[in-house]
Each structure stands twice: as structure tokens, then as C-alpha cells.
């Protein structure tokens, strides 16, 4: 099977990498990465994998399957177009929106599977298979790889606990305009080392404000690489808002607190008054929230066995065995226009 790993944003690298590792280990399939140069001008895997910045090269490759951790993929490309999601934040408005570009949805856990199967039943033009989320394979393989780095950071700082602040970039959902003073107070009053890890699409003004904070305050570190999950693994507590990062932490059974989270049902302490941040962190360590984290683990993604990528490739192979490889995805003119506007055209072979 010829597979394209469709990498539009930097955060997708760690989501797609377990699929590359599974392909490398099996020897039956061939992979090509599409890397969008507009968002990823320097691809960190450039020496390790086969990749291209060209949609035309992807079309010429004639894939059997395209794995997409996003919402849109060129309809005119050959191959089963497979949604593998970019996170767990189901409260975000667009999470349940079916944008018509994809043939197969590979869901993370029972909570997502039930709702997407209902959407598939109503629409009738895509299928749903529960596999787990591929970044969990990376977590399974690297669960304790950063324990030593965490210990060195704490030892060098003289602090006892790592706190990660990982907000969303969305202007309507982010906590960034409200958090600086509270975070500075937290570092001053508590025995914590604060890591700041922002989404690559975060507004430049906010990035500069918090970079300046890290440069001028003790015990605050700015993180400038794409590997969010590494720092979630290192954290004792995660502070966020309406971001998928909080679910990755919950699935690791890590205490989480949020400022102004948009979910109707929350499984962690949430606050709006920034002075409540320290008490919210204390509350997150309670038995009540430990039990709520257990519910998230069982329903959002129980597939943490390191075999998600294998299940994904098996699911696509089964789809092709039943339906064949589509030459393109049928779309209405508006969706086609949106796709061409974003990715351009490509000539047929």
C-alpha cells in the first residue's frame, strides 16, 4: 500500500510519526510525507523520511491512502482519505463538523466513536473505525524517557514541581490575555518550575509577551520546539483552557486546571478569577478529580498499548479490500473551490 502522511502543521509531525515507524517496521508499505512549507519551513525529519512540499508530487505518487490529522485534504488526490484527528478537544466548535473531504474516520475512543458513527449513519458517505490516537504509540514508547531531564531541571532550579502552561491559540478560547499575572504570582508563591509551551499558530503579540516573561523571570522556561507531549510527560500539573493538551494530560492521569474552559461538562477544576489558580491546582489533586480522570481514560482513549498505528493501517487495508481505492472524493463546487484555493491544482497523470 502506498501511503501519504499529510502534514500541514508542525504539531502533526508527532501524530504521524508512529505511522511512519509502523510502515518502516512492516516492510509491506511505502510512505511519502506531504509537508506544507507555508507552515513548516524546516522539516525536522527531512533526512529520515521520504517527503515533498509539492501537491503535484503527491498526485504523481498515486497513493492508496492519505492519513490526515486535520480537516481538509485535496479531493482530487487518489486514495482513501483518512481522518486521524489532531486532538481530543471535543468541546471545540469544529470537532464534530463533517467537512466532506474524508472517507474514513479513525476515532480515539468510545465517546468519539458513538457520535461519529451517528453522523456517518445520517450522511452515509464515510465510515468510522475505533483505533485509538497515534500519538499514544509515541507516548507508550517514550513514557519515561524524559524523567532524567525533568530531574535535572528541578535540581538546577531548586524547585519541587514542574507546571506546564499550554494554552490554545484560538483568540475566542485562549486564556493568554488573562494569565500572565497569575502565573507570575504562582511562581513567586509556590515551589514550582513553570514551562511555557504555545501552539504554533498563537498570535505573535502573545508569544512575545510570554517570551519576555520567561526571559525576565526566574523559574520560567520558554519551550520552542514542536513536541508538546514531551513536556506533558514531564509535568506534574498542566494549566490550559480549551486545548487538546489538557486531554493528553488527563489520559496520563495528570492533574489539570483550566481558565475559562468551554466544555459543558468538566472533569477538572476551572476558574475565571486568576487569584483562584493556586487553590484550583490543590483541588486537582483530590480523589474526586482522580476518579473523573479515570472516566476520561476509559472513554476518550483506552487504546494505550502501542498498537494504534497498526490498527489504523489494518482498518485502511480492510476499507480498500471492501471498496477499492477511490480516484478522488466527490464534493460540491464550493468545497472544491476552498480546496483549490488552499492547496492549488495538480495535473493528472
- Return per-residue pLDDT of the chain as tens, 349 residues: 999 999 999 889 999 999 999 999 988 999 999 999 999 999 999 999 999 999 999 999 999 999 999 889 999 999 999 999 988 876 666 676 777 899 999 999 999 999 999 999 998 899 999 999 999 999 999 999 999 999 999 999 999 999 999 998 888 889 999 999 999 999 999 999 999 999 888 999 999 999 999 999 999 999 987 788 899 999 999 999 988 888 889 999 999 999 999 888 899 999 999 999 999 999 999 999 999 999 999 999 999 999 999 999 999 999 999 999 999 998 899 999 999 999 999 887 5
Rounded Cα–Cα distance for residues 159 and 190 (Å): 9
Q: How many CA atoms lie within 13 A of 224 on its CB side?
A: 7
- Can 2-133+303-343 and 145-300 be said to share one CATH topology? yes
Residue-level pLDDT at 92: 61
Taking a C-beta distance cutoff of 8 angstroms, is the pair 91, 275 a contact? no
pTM, 2 dp: 0.84
Cell of 318: 480492510
Rounded Cα–Cα distance for residues 204 and 50 (Å): 32
**Into which CATH architecture does domain 2-133+303-343 fall?**
3-Layer(aba) Sandwich (3.40)
Rounded Cα–Cα distance for residues 163 and 173 (Å): 21
Q: How many CA atoms lie within 13 A of 39 on its CB side?
A: 18
Tell me, letter by letter, the H, E, C secondary structure of the chain: CEEEEEECCCCHHHHHHHHHHHHHHHCCCEEEEEECCCCCCCCCCCCCCCEECCHHHHHHHCCCEEEECCCCCCCCCCCEEEECCCCCCCCCCCCCCCCCCCCEEEECCHHHHHHHHHHHHHHCCCEEEECCCCHHHHHHHHCCCCHHHHHHHHHHHCCCEEEEECCCCCCCCCCHHHHHHHHHHHHHHCCEEEEEECCCCCCHHHHHHHHHHHHHCCCEEEECCCCHHHHHHHCCEEEECCCCHHHHHHHCCCCEEEECCCCCCCCCCEECCHHHHHHHHHHHCCHHHHHHHHHHHHHHCCCCCCCHHHHHHHHHHHHHHHHCCCCCCCCCHHHHHHHHHHHCCCCCC
Q: Other CB atoms closer than 10 Å to residue 5's CB: what's the count?
A: 28
State in Å, rounded, how far the first CA of the chain is from the last one.
Answer: 19
Rounded Cα–Cα distance for residues 132 and 283 (Å): 29
Bridge partner list, 192: 161
Domain range annotation of the chain: 2-133+303-343, 145-300
* The residue to which cell 498515486 is assigned: 62
Which residues fall within 8 angstroms of residue 183, CB to CB, at 6 or more apart? 165, 194, 213, 220, 239, 277
Residue-level pLDDT at 93: 62
The maximal CA–CA distance of the chain, rounded, in angstroms, is 64
Rounded Cα–Cα distance for residues 48 and 228 (Å): 21
Bridge partner list, 240: 258
Rounded Cα–Cα distance for residues 150 and 155 (Å): 9
Roughly what angle, to the nearest 10 degrees, separates helices 308-323 and 135-142? 150
Residue-level pLDDT at 349: 54
- Domain 145-300 part of CATH 3.40.50.2000: yes
Residue-level pLDDT at 199: 87
Amino acid at each position: 500500500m502506498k501511503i501519504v502522511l499529510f502534514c500541514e502543521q508542525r504539531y502533526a509531525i508527532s501524530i504521524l510519526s508512529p505511522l511512519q515507524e509502523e510502515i518502516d517496521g512492516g516492510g509491506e508499505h511505502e510512505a511519502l510525507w506531504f509537508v506544507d512549507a507555508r507552515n513548516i519551513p524546516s522539516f525536522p525529519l527531512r533526512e529520515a523520511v521520504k517527503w515533498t512540499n509539492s501537491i503535484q508530487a503527491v498526485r504523481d505518487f498515486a497513493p492508496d491512502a492519505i492519513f490526515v490529522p486535520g480537516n481538509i485534504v485535496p479531493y482530487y488526490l487518489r486514495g482513501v482519505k483518512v481522518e486521524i484527528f489532531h486532538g481530543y478537544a471535543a468541546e471545540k466548535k469544529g470537532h464534530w463538523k463533517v467537512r466532506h473531504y474524508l472517507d474514513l474516520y479513525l476515532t480515539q475512543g468510545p465517546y468519539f466513536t458513538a457520535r461519529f458513527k451517528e453522523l456517518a449513519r445520517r450522511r452515509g458517505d464515510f465510515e468510522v473505525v475505533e483505533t485509538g490516537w497515534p500519538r499514544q504509540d509515541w507516548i507508550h514508547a517514550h513514557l519515561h524517557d524524559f524523567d532524567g531531564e525533568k530531574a535535572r531541571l528541578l535540581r538546577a532550579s531548586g524547585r519541587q514541581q514542574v507546571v506546564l502552561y499550554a494554552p490554545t491559540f484560538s483568540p475566542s478560547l485562549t486564556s493568554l490575555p488573562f494569565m500572565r499575572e497569575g502565573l507570575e504570582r504562582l511562581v513567586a508563591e509556590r515551589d514550582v518550575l513553570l514551562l511555557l509551551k504555545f501552539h504554533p499558530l498563537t498570535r505573535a503579540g502573545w508569544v512575545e509577551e510570554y517570551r519576555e516573561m520567561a526571559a525576565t523571570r526566574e523559574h520560567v522556561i520558554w519551550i520552542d520546539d514542536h513536541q508538546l507531549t514531551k513536556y506533558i510527560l514531564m509535568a506534574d500539573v498542566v494549566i490550559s483552557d480549551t486545548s487538546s493538551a489538557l486531554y493528553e494530560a488527563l489520559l496520563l492521569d495528570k492533574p489539570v486546571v483550566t481558565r475559562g474552559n468551554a466544555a459543558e461538562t468538566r472533569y477538572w477544576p476551572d476558574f475565571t478569577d486568576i487569584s483562584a489558580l493556586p487553590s484550583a491546582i490543590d483541588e486537582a489533586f483530590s480523589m474526586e478529580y482522580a476518579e473523573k480522570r479515570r472516566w476520561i481514560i476509559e472513554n476518550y482513549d483506552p487504546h494505550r498499548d502501542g498498537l494504534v498505528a497498526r490498527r489504523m493501517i489494518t482498518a485502511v487495508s480492510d476499507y480498500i479490500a471492501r471498496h477499492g481505492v477511490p480516484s478522488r472524493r466527490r464534493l460540491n463546487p464550493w468545497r472544491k473551490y476552498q480546496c483549490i484555493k488552499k492547496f492549488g491544482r495538480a495535473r493528472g497523470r
